[in-house]
Structure formats: structure tokens, C-alpha cells
């Protein structure tokens, strides 16, 4: 590894599984210390134990604004500060609009859009105290194009893209903010699709690169936006979808 994050102190939400876990593993390998947040306390402790020295796990729901503030302060204390945030926590409910329950809508907006706001707001004093800092929000290709049954999810992720652009405008020049737009990535959230061979083949055929995404694909893109490789990029987003959005 090139130690692209040597000495960095990064807070990662949704770190108990999937993309968040993969990002944590890569970031630690690249020299960062990481604070792992997830509402699955047992899961996040397991990942922290996997990573060992340089990782600390914290049980936290990003929608719990009051509780989140205290957890972020604990994380900053454990790391000796925070100079990076990755918002990877997210939920998905694929349901036609005519059947979408208001509680499901509210929960997707709360986790996928308000959650990143809560995390950034709580971490902001630490980010502003750093010489340079970064924010990476994990959005979705669903933020870029309409798909059946994703009214709530797509709206929450499209909002997250605009939130990211506003962060880039408001927090520069010392804090950069960018977003990742994954396509179908093989995680627990999409297991219903990729475990069904027929569905997986059909989904792969819609992708220019002919395969579904892996969590490491997203982790490497997140590394780019967190490292100095992207030092002149802010308020932007990167599709990591194998060419799905433009097909």
C-alpha cells in the first residue's frame, strides 16, 4: 500500500458491514485511524476487532441527533481528532409509490439524508480544526435516474447529492466534500438480487462492464476522494456503477 492516508483520522458510518466495512479495512491499510459507527453494536465491535490497533467501534444510530453528538466526541477523543468523514450508513425499501408507507419514506429520509447532516454537523468543529479535511457521502446511482419502486430511496439520495454540493461550497477551502454513486453492489441490502442467478444475470446485462459491483470498488473510489489524489475536487460525485447510469 502507498499509505495515502498516513496519519489521517476518519469517522465511518455504516461500518458494521458492506461498503462501510470495506472502506474501513482499506483506510486502515492506507495508514488511517478509523472510528466505526453503526447501529449494530455487536457488528461494529466485530469489525473493530478484525482491524485491531487503529480502529475503535461505537454503537450509534445516525438519526439520534442527541446521542450522536456524544458518540462523535468519544470518537474524536479515541482518534485524537477527526479530519475525515465517510457517510456510508443507508437503508433501502423498493416499493411502488402507490404502496409506499409514510413511515418507510420518513425512515429513508432520516437515515439517508438527515443522518449525514447529523454526522457532519456533529463532526464539523473537528473538521474545521484540521489543516485539511474531507467528507465523502455514499449516495446511489438511483439519485441520477428514476427506477421503479425507488421514489423514497431515490429522493433521499438525490437530496444527499445536493447536500454534498452545498457542503463543498460552504466549507471550502479547507474541507472538501464529494459523493459516490454506487450501482448494484453486492451487499446485504442487495442480496435479494444477486443471490438469484436469473436476476443477477439480468442486472449484469444492463451494465457496460458486464458484472455487478463489489464493495471494494466503492472503497477504492472513496479512498480517491479522501486522499490528496483528489485535492482539487469538491462538490462533485462519481458513479461507481460499471456504466449502468448512461446505458
CA separation for the pair 141, 132 (Å, rounded): 28
Nine cell digits for residue 77: 477523543
Sign of the alpha-carbon dihedral angle for 41, 195, 24, 92: negative
Catalytic residue among 153, 163, 225, 244: 153
Whether 153 is catalytic is yes
Sign of the alpha-carbon dihedral angle for 178, 212, 14, 157: positive
Alpha carbon 199 to chain centroid, angstroms: 25
Nine cell digits for residue 121: 454537523
Distance from the first to the final alpha carbon of the chain: 34
CA separation for the pair 243, 210 (Å, rounded): 9
Prior bond of 33 cis (ω within 30°): no
Show which residues are catalytic. Answer: 153
Amino acid at each position: 500500500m502507498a499509505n495515502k492516508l498516513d496519519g489521517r483520522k476518519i469517522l465511518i458510518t455504516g461500518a458494521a458491514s458492506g461498503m462501510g466495512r470495506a472502506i474501513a479495512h482499506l483506510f486502515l491499510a492506507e495508514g488511517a485511524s478509523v472510528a466505526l459507527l453503526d447501529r449494530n453494536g455487536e457488528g461494529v465491535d466485530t469489525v473493530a476487532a478484525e482491524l485491531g490497533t487503529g480502529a475503535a467501534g461505537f454503537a450509534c444510530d445516525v438519526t439520534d441527533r442527541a446521542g450522536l453528538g456524544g458518540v462523535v466526541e468519544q470518537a474524536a477523543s479515541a482518534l485524537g481528532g477527526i479530519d475525515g468523514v465517510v457517510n456510508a450508513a443507508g437503508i433501502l425499501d423498493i416499493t411502488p409509490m402507490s404502496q409506499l408507507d409514510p413511515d418507510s419514506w420518513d425512515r429513508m429520509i432520516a437515515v439517508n439524508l438527515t443522518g449525514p447532516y447529523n454526522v457532519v454537523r456533529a463532526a464539523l468543529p473537528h473538521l474545521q480544526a484540521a489543516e485539511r479535511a474531507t467528507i465523502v457521502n455514499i449516495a446511489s446511482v438511483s439519485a441520477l435516474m428514476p427506477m421503479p419502486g425507488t421514489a423514497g430511496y431515490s429522493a433521499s439520495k438525490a437530496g444527499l447529492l445536493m447536500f454534498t454540493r452545498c457542503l463543498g461550497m460552504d466549507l471550502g477551502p479547507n474541507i472538501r466534500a464529494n459523493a459516490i454513486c454506487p450501482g448494484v453492489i453486492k451487499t446485504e441490502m442487495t442480496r435479494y438480487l444477486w443471490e438469484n442467478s436469473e436476476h443477477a444475470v439480468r442486472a449484469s446485462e444492463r451494465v457496460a462492464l458486464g458484472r455487478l459491483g463489489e464493495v471494494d470498488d466503492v472503497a477504492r473510489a472513496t479512498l480517491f476522494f479522501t486522499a490528496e489524489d483528489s485535492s482539487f475536487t469538491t462538490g462533485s460525485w462519481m458513479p461507481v456503477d460499471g456504466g449502468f447510469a448512461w446505458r
